[in-house]
Structure formats: structure tokens, C-alpha cells
Structure 1
Amino acid sequence: MAKNVMAITKGHETNEQKAIRQQALNEVKNAPMVAADPPTFLDEVAKAEYKRLIVLLADGISALDENILASYCATYSAIVACQKAINADGVVMTENKINPAVKQMDALTKTLRSLANDLGLTPQARLKMAWNNAKQEDNSDPFKALVKS
């Protein structure tokens, strides 16, 4: 799921700051949902990844995140193409030269990792969101438990 804005805040916030942030979050939540069909400029591998992620991110992604998601999928597709080139030609090509696809794949992997973090796709990003959500619930309202009972 894409990162929750309330979950990534750090430090203490006043009630007024929390209210402003919550209002902003509500506006973002009311944004149109991301299109189920992948953008036409993506290749087949990227489109398949887009469709796979749309199902997994259904409730946590909006149209505002579509460009990040498309970039993630295009980067993923480029990594797959690099891996195919490495599989075909090997890591080391003629005359002990490293296959250029290896360097390209390294750079693409760093980009993919960054985009995955932005979308909340890594275990670390999900753990951080869960931790911040739990922390936020603990600090939010001491009378919350009384109201629930």
C-alpha cells in the first residue's frame, strides 16, 4: 500500500497540527482512484507488473500516485531486460569487459528500491508505517478506550 501521510510524521504534533494533517489526508483520500488499466506507454512486462500491483495496492493508492507507480513498473521492466541481456551474454563479455547491462541493472535496482519505498512496497516501509500507526494511536486520545467500551 502507498504510504499513509499520518504514519510517516515524526516528532510531537499539537492537536491543531494533527487536525490540519488529518484534513489534508482526507482530501488525498478523496482523490480519484488510480486507473485499473496501465498507461499505454508501458511495455508488456511493465503493464503486467502494474496490473499485479494495482490489486495489491487497491485501497492505498490514488490517481496522485499513478506516475510513481508507472515509473516503478517501467524500472522493473528495464531490470528484467537487463537480466535477460546478462543471461544471454554473461556478466563478463569478451576481453574481460563487464557487460554494460550489469552497471545499468545496478543503477536501475537503486531507483526501483527508492520507488518501492515511496509506494510502501518494502518490508521496512510497511514496518515503519505500522510502527508509526501504532505509536500514533497510543498518543492520540487517552479517552478513546473509554468511548469504545
Structure 2
Amino acid sequence: MADYKTPLQLTAPRYMKGYTRTMWESLVPLLISRGTTNVSKSVVETYCQTYGISRQAYEDIAEHGMTDESTGKKNPSVTTYENAVKNLRGLASDLGLTPSSQVQLQKLIIDSSDEHDGKSFSELAQDIKF
């Protein structure tokens, strides 16, 4: 069984290629600096995979357009892209990558701290690095 207290690995899993791998290698150093551990590995993998899907769908839309000119039907990649972007928003929130999720994390950190020294929330929040 994996030790969930260990940090994520910096290098992307072998199966990841292209945009998925690039996202892993960009995102994981930031998450490690925040203390994210292997307990979040599946969420990180899903985020990177979904990002890769969104990029592939976007490229297809850029190349072929949003509709098939011969039939007038919507390019299926448009739906794929829209769904991927929606999923990315939720996963980003789970990983603390959105402004609102960062505020929630700051509140949790500050509320769990006994040492406020009379500082305001904004002063305490400035000390937390994201």
C-alpha cells in the first residue's frame, strides 16, 4: 500500500504523453511546494488527463471548425472540449488551484492555528504561500 504522506513524484507517470505529461511536470512542483501528497495523486492524474483531452479537442476545433461545413452539424470535439473544461474547473477547485478554493484553504489553515497575535485575516492570509 502506498504511503500517502509522501510527496507526489516530480516526473510524470510513464503512460502520460504530450499535453498530459507537460501539465503534470508544470503542476506537480507547485503542488509539492504546497504540501500536496500522494493522497491526491488520482485527482492530479485526472486533472492532467482532462487537460490533455481539452487541448486535443481544441486543436481539432481549430483545424476543422466548430461545425462540419458539408453537413452543418456540430463538431463532436466542441462537446468534448466543453465537458473537459467543466471537469477541469471542479478538479482545479479540489486541488486548490482556483481563487475561491485558495481562500477556503487559507481559512482552514488560519482557523487551525492558535497563534493569531492580533492579526487580521488578510494579514494572516498574506503569510500563506500559494
- TM-score, normalization: structure 2? 0.77
Distance 2:98 2:109 in 1: 17
Deviation, 1:126, is 0.5
Show the counterpart of 1:35.
9
Distance 1:144 1:49 in 2: 37
Aligned residue pairs, count: 114
Distance 1:110 1:96 in 2: 25
Distance 1:115 1:55 in 2: 17
Distance 1:145 1:122 in 2: 28
Matching of residue 128 in structure 1 with residue 104 in structure 2: yes
Distance 1:46 1:64 in 2: 20
Contact in 2 for aligned 1:86/1:101 (Cα 8 Å): yes
Runs of 4+ in 1 over 2 A off after TM superposition: 131-134, 143-146
Matching of residue 76 in structure 1 with residue 51 in structure 2: yes
Please state whether the residue corresponding to 1:108 is helix, strand or coil: helix
Distance 2:64 2:108 in 1: 46
For the structure 1 residues 133 and 32, does the alpha-carbon distance in structure 2 shift closer, same or farther, using more than 3 Å as the test? closer
Identity of aligned residues (%): 25
For residue 96 of structure 1, what is the amino acid of its counterpart? Answer: G
Matching of residue 87 in structure 1 with residue 62 in structure 2: yes
Matching of residue 100 in structure 1 with residue 71 in structure 2: no
Q: 1:66 aligns with which of 13, 38, 41?
A: 41
The structure whose RCO (Cα within 8 Å, separation 6+) is larger is 1
Deviation, 1:99, is 0.8
Show the counterpart of 2:126.
none
Please state whether the residue corresponding to 2:15 is helix, strand or coil: coil
- Which structure has the larger Rg? 1
What do the CA deviations read for 1:27-66 (whole angstroms, capped 9, x no partner)?
96xx111111111121221111101111211232111111
Deviation, 1:132, is 3.6
For residue 121 of structure 1, what is the amino acid of its counterpart? Answer: L
Q: 1:111 aligns with which of 80, 87, 110?
A: 87
Which segment is superposed worse, 120-129 or 77-86?
Answer: 120-129
For residue 118 of structure 1, what is the amino acid of its counterpart? Answer: D
For residue 30 of structure 2, what is the amino acid of its counterpart? Answer: L
More helix by share: 1
Deviation, 1:109, is 1.1
For residue 97 of structure 2, what is the amino acid of its counterpart? Answer: L
